[in-house]
Structure 1
Amino acid sequence: MKTSTLEKHSVKSNICTHLLPTATAGSLPKPSWLAEPEALWSPWKLQGQELIDGKHDALRVSLQEQQHAGIDIVSDGEQTRQHFVTTFIEHLTGVDFENRKTVKIRDRYDASVPTVVGPVSRPKSVFVEDAKILRQQTDKPIKWALPGPMTMIDTLFDEHYKSREKLAWEFAKILNQEAKELQAVGVDIIQFDEPAFNVFFDEVNEWGIACLERAIQGLECETAVHICYGYGIQANTDWKKTLGSQWRQYEETFPKLQKSNIDIISLECHNSHVPIELLELIRGKKVMVGAIDVATNNIETPEEVANTLRAALKYVDADKLYPCTNCGMAPLSRDVAKGKLNALRAGAEIVRRELLENT
């Protein structure tokens, strides 16, 4: 197995040796032979061992495309997951996927979700074998995404705990178990996806961030929380139209996140109405700055990416800025996603040169 960067560097040191290391927020398009292209959460086209092999082949393809584009911190592109939350939940006990209820996801749209019918637990690891395969394929730093506790509870109907907070704490313990095993096989950054942090502000500040810190307890690898405004699906774009000319949701949660033990905060910037000065609220944290819009097929120019990064550099120290995508790119075509990855790398190179010239 390839040596992980965890074994090469001291605990929580910079995992990349140059300024502005690039990364993706999460998902990348799946090959058409694995799942329906340009669609979120589409069913698998394979079954049994063919599906297992197909997922791992897709992981290798996704990694290759990231490497060809010059992405510095690579991932599996979420090729082994149908859904960024429920694929993890499918492996837990206490959740009945046949007993489904309709709930409103993030106060935005109705969805049919499984029901929590008993104590939740994780009989075995969920993504560790997949992470091992990714680690074997590359010497680059690797990042793995897990759903965050608050987003998990918002994707279920709870008949057992009857308390969002109690269920979130149980999920935090389970996520911590998984995260420790991912760390042990060489994952350098473990990211928790928490789009719910942009919605349930009182809960976030009362116990949501504390639950997230329970999920990262005892980890020595770097940790990240990804908080965005969602994929470019209709329900999300409709919601964004209600947010006004300035999207200030981050203002509610950044002050407490700045004081938390989370190492990296991943957020949405490009083509959004997020006031860039809100980044001052997390000064001192590493920030994955979303410089690629995932809600459009238009491919950014390198200069557009560079402009977003230049704006962020007024509030984020250069050695803590990681150019990234706003969110996952699963609903896009592979050609568009490749173009956007190339633009991300090229835009980062422009600003990197500028920084080095000015030192």
Structure 2
Amino acid sequence: MFSDDEKRAIRRLYLWPKLGTYFLFSLFPGLAAWVACIAVDDAILKSQGVYLLGLYSLLPFVIVYVALCLVFSIGTRVMANRPAWRSVERKVFGEAADTPLPGELYAGIGTSAAGRLMDSRDGGTPAGEALEVVGSALGFIGFWRLMRAFHETARIAAERGGVRLPSLGAWRTAIVLVPILVFAAIFTPRLASSAQAGAEARAEAAERVSAIEAAFEDGGCAYVSADDPTQRQTSYGYSVYGYLDALDEPLVSYACVDTDASGALKEISYHADIDATLSKEKNLAAVQADFDRLAGMLSGLGMPSPTLPAEFTEQFLAGTYYDDVSVYEGTEDGLTVYAHFATDPEDEFDEDSDTYVFLSIEV
């Protein structure tokens, strides 16, 4: 019934529209796989730095798949206008007729254009963005309907003429799985390396945190609280608190040691509540004594000395219990020291006011 050219045209118009559709819609699972790899690398494994190979791998995938979609889609339209396919149509359907473009394609193009026009005139609006999304969705539907029309016509012609058609399952599986496997191959070394580095960092951090926690406990702190690196991995680090006093005491002094993800010191801060019924000199002496006691517990761990800056001491002694004092100071060792006295204005000051001295030393 059909010549070799006509059979070839039937097979191509059966396969090519589907391939164009597969390449287009496989962008979504491919993008999902890429996002999943990025998420695992960043959010779960807390990898340090940017993985450029993984970051830039998405663009070639999108370019190749969009290009192949266009190749097979345009090829489908070209093949539909060739004499071989026209002859098939006349033999099967009695006449050769163009497959019209679906209305969704026109609607999608128009809606997207309207959305872009609104964005360009108004500097970007939710309505314009919504129109662009709707236009894109309509365009996808229109493209799918057009390719499906060619595919179904070729299938009917093949059934009537007894033409053997190629299998679509293998093509569909390959087109969907190839980008997923490529992304998996690209990210696997990075993820394995990050997992190993994370395990080593957690082990180092756990050892460091345990040493700080033990120093506070052995030093006589009434309460100690510490993060557990073995239970919770973070990219920003861990904290250990040591309280000289019970938490329900009216005046509380404590120190907090913050480390990075591998346990190296980032910052140590000290807090001491103020008794406004005492003189500033007595309070300042008590604050420094508490800070020194806490620092003494950590003396074997290489922590910086908690000395209040001279400028802060002068301003605190010269002021009142109703005036905040804040002083930043750099040291010769490259540390950043921040001292702060927190209080309430005189007209708001009462027994519930939170007045304290805070000293932070950043590495």
Q: TM-score, normalised by structure 1?
A: 0.22
Q: Which has the higher contact order (CA 8 A, sep 6+)?
A: 1
